[in-house]
A and B are shown apart, each in its own frame.
Chain A
Amino acid sequence: MDWIHGELHFNFIKIHPRSHFSDHIRQFGNIPMYSTELGELAHKEQIKEGWRRSNENDAARQIVHSYSRQHAIQMRLLNLESFRGRGADLSADVLQHLKSSTSTVTAPVVRKRILKGCQDDVSNVLDFSKVSGVSRESICRELIRYSRHNLLTERQLPEDHAILQSLPVELLTQLEIPVVAFQESDVYDINRGRCTGALHFRNQGSRNDWVWVQAGSEEMYGALRGHLPAKLVALFKIRDYTCANAVHRVAAIRMLSAVNSGFTLDIHGLVTVQMREDAPEFTIVDVGTIHGLAHLIPEGERRWLVNSWIDLRTFNEVY
C-alpha cells in the first residue's frame, strides 16, 4: 500500500501555471478569459447580414465584399473623426454625419428601479388580498406600519381600513434593479427580480426570487453589512387618492434573519440565514430598499446558506 501512496503526486502540468499568475498581473495586467460567445456573435454581422444583403447567387463572394465594404466605411469614419478632433477643415455634410453618429454613443443611463408585468385582475387592496391569499387585515396593518415608519406625515396613507381597502392597487410581477457592475462606476447590470405569486413562470413552477434588502446600518449583521436576504411575496403600486394621487411603489417581502449575527462560519466561510418561526408573514418596504438579487442555497428546513461566490460583486462585499 505504501508504495502506491508514494506514487501519488500533484505534479501535473495544469497545477503549475497558476503560480505565475501574480507575476503575469504585475507585468501585463489582468488575466483574460476566453469566450466563444464573441466569435459566435461575429457570425451574425459578418455572415448572416452579408447573406441577407446578397442576391443569394454566388453568395460567398458577395458576403466577403459586403463585410469588407462595411469595414472600410468604419475605418474611414474613424479617420474622419480623428481629423475633426485635430481641427481639420471638413465639409458640412461630413460634419453633420459625424455628429449624428457620435451622439448615439452617449445613451441615457437607466438608474431607476422599474416595475413591470402588470396583472389585470387586481384593482384595489380587496382584489389583492383575494389573489395573494393574504388576509385584508394583515395587509392593512402592514400598510399602516409602512406609512408610519417611512412616509412624511403629510404623505401618510389613510388609517381607516375601509378607505385603505378601496385604494387603487396595481400588482406587478417583475422588478428591474440596476446594480453597478463590479469595478465600474457608470455601467449597470440589470437584476430582474421576479415575483409571480402563485402564477406559473414560463410554463414552469412559480418564481419568487430572493433579494437583498437594506435592513440596518453598515455595521449590523457582520459580513452582510446591514443587508438581509428576503423572499419577494408581492410587488405592487398603491395610489393614494386622498393625498394628491401620490403613488407608492412597494414590495411585500418575507425577511430572513442572520444566524451567528451574520458572521461567516470558519469551516466554509459562508453566512447562514434562517426563517424564524415567529417572523411576520410579510413586511412592506419601499422598492428603493431592495439592492439586488441574492443567491441562497437551501441547507435544510427554513435554513439557507448565502452563496457569496455567485458573482464578483457579492464576493467582494460579503466576507
Chain B
Amino acid sequence: MDFIPVSAPDLHMQEMLHTVYLGLFKHMMDWIQTFLKKHRRLQAFDDVWNALPPYPGFWVPKKAYRKVAQWQGKEIRNLGRCILGVLAVVLRQPQSSQVIPFKNALGCVRALVNFTMMAQYRSHTSDTIAYMEHYLDQFHRMKGIFLEFRVTKRTLAKVDEQRREIRHQRTQMGQPVAPSKRRRICDNNREEEH
C-alpha cells in the first residue's frame, strides 16, 4: 500500500485552544446551562457571574452569561478560571433530591478544570503528569451526570420520525393526538439545540 507523503507541519498537534477551550469548555458550558435550567438556578448563575471582582489578567464579565452571543478563546480561558467558584456558589443549599446531582456536577467540572490547569504547566514532572491523568480519569467517571444533555441532531431526527409515525398511527385509528411525555421532553431538548 502506498502512503501519501506526509509533511510534519500537517500532522495533528496537541494544543490548548482548540481541544480544551473551544472544544470541551464550550460543550461543558452548554451542559451546565441546561443543568441549571433544569434545577431552576439560571438566574442565580447570572447574578454571581455579574458580581465577580477584578483580578490582574482577568477580564471581568460585563454582560449576563446568556446575553453573550460569541465567545473568543481569551474569554473562554477567563471563564475556566472562575467557573468552578461561580458554580459552587450557585449550587449551594440544595434540596434533598438535588444533593447527589449537584455533587456530581461540581465533581465533574472540578476534574475538567483541574485537568486544564495542570495541562497549562510549562514544565512537568512525572507527578504532575500523574495528577493530570488522575483528573482525566475522574472526569470520565463523573461526566455521566451531564449525559442527558448530550442530545445529538441524529437523535432529534429519530425522535421527529417516531413522533410522526405515532401521529400517523393514531390518526388512522381515529384517536386524538395528545401531547405525550416524550414529546414535551423532546421540545425542551430542541430549544436547547437552538
Set of chain A residues within 8 Å of B14, measured between Cβ atoms: 17, 20-21, 24, 31
Interface centre among A12, A26, A267 (most CB of B within 10 A): A267
Given contacts A8-B151, A34-B16, A312-B121, contact A268 B88 (CB under 8 A): yes
Complex CA–CA separation, A310 to B153 (angstroms): 35
Complex CA–CA separation, A296 to B88 (angstroms): 12
Establish whether residues A18 and B57, one from each chain, have CB atoms under 8 Å apart when the complex forms. no
Establish whether residues B84 and A31, one from each chain, have CB atoms under 8 Å apart when the complex forms. no
Instruction: Indicate if A305 sits at the interface (CB-CB under 8 A).
Output: yes
Establish whether residues B155 and A15, one from each chain, have CB atoms under 8 Å apart when the complex forms. no
Neighbour of A8 across the interface among B74, B122, B129, B150, CB < 8 A: B150
Query: Mostly helix, strand, loop or mixed at chain B's interface?
Result: helix
Set of chain A residues within 8 Å of B17, measured between Cβ atoms: 33-35
Instruction: Indicate if B191 sits at the interface (CB-CB under 8 A).
Output: no
Instruction: Indicate if A61 sits at the interface (CB-CB under 8 A).
Output: no
| Proximity string of chain B (10-29) to chain A, C-beta cutoff 8 Å, 1 when within and 0 when not | 00111111111001100100
Instruction: Indicate if B37 sits at the interface (CB-CB under 8 A).
Output: no
Instruction: Indicate if B38 sits at the interface (CB-CB under 8 A).
Output: no
Complex CA–CA separation, A312 to B110 (angstroms): 15
Instruction: Indicate if A156 sits at the interface (CB-CB under 8 A).
Output: no
Complex CA–CA separation, A4 to B184 (angstroms): 13
Instruction: Indicate if B7 sits at the interface (CB-CB under 8 A).
Output: no
Instruction: Indicate if A214 sits at the interface (CB-CB under 8 A).
Output: no
Establish whether residues A14 and B19, one from each chain, have CB atoms under 8 Å apart when the complex forms. yes
Neighbour of B121 across the interface among A30, A192, A269, A309, CB < 8 A: A30
Complex CA–CA separation, A14 to B150 (angstroms): 13
Set of chain A residues within 8 Å of B27, measured between Cβ atoms: 12, 14
Set of chain B residues within 8 Å of A310, measured between Cβ atoms: 55, 58, 81-82
Instruction: Indicate if B167 sits at the interface (CB-CB under 8 A).
Output: no
Establish whether residues A22 and B85, one from each chain, have CB atoms under 8 Å apart when the complex forms. no
The chain A residue with its CB closest to the CB of B109 is A268
Establish whether residues B53 and A299, one from each chain, have CB atoms under 8 Å apart when the complex forms. no
Complex CA–CA separation, A125 to B147 (angstroms): 62
Establish whether residues A189 and B56, one from each chain, have CB atoms under 8 Å apart when the complex forms. yes
Given contacts A33-B16, A191-B56, A295-B58, contact A267 B106 (CB under 8 A): yes
Given contacts A269-B110, A270-B88, A309-B80, contact A210 B18 (CB under 8 A): no
Instruction: Indicate if B175 sits at the interface (CB-CB under 8 A).
Output: no
Establish whether residues A295 and B24, one from each chain, have CB atoms under 8 Å apart when the complex forms. no
Neighbour of A297 across the interface among B52, B110, B147, B154, CB < 8 A: B52
Establish whether residues B121 and A183, one from each chain, have CB atoms under 8 Å apart when the complex forms. yes
Neighbour of B89 across the interface among A12, A14, A299, A309, CB < 8 A: A299
Residues of A within 8 A of B (CB): 1, 4-5, 7-10, 12, 14-15, 17-22, 24-26, 30-36, 182-183, 189-192, 207, 209-210, 267-270, 293, 295-299, 305, 307, 309-312, 315
10 A–B pairs (Cβ distance < 8 Å), ordered by A: A1-B182, A10-B143, A14-B19, A19-B136, A269-B110, A293-B55, A297-B85, A309-B83, A309-B113, A312-B117
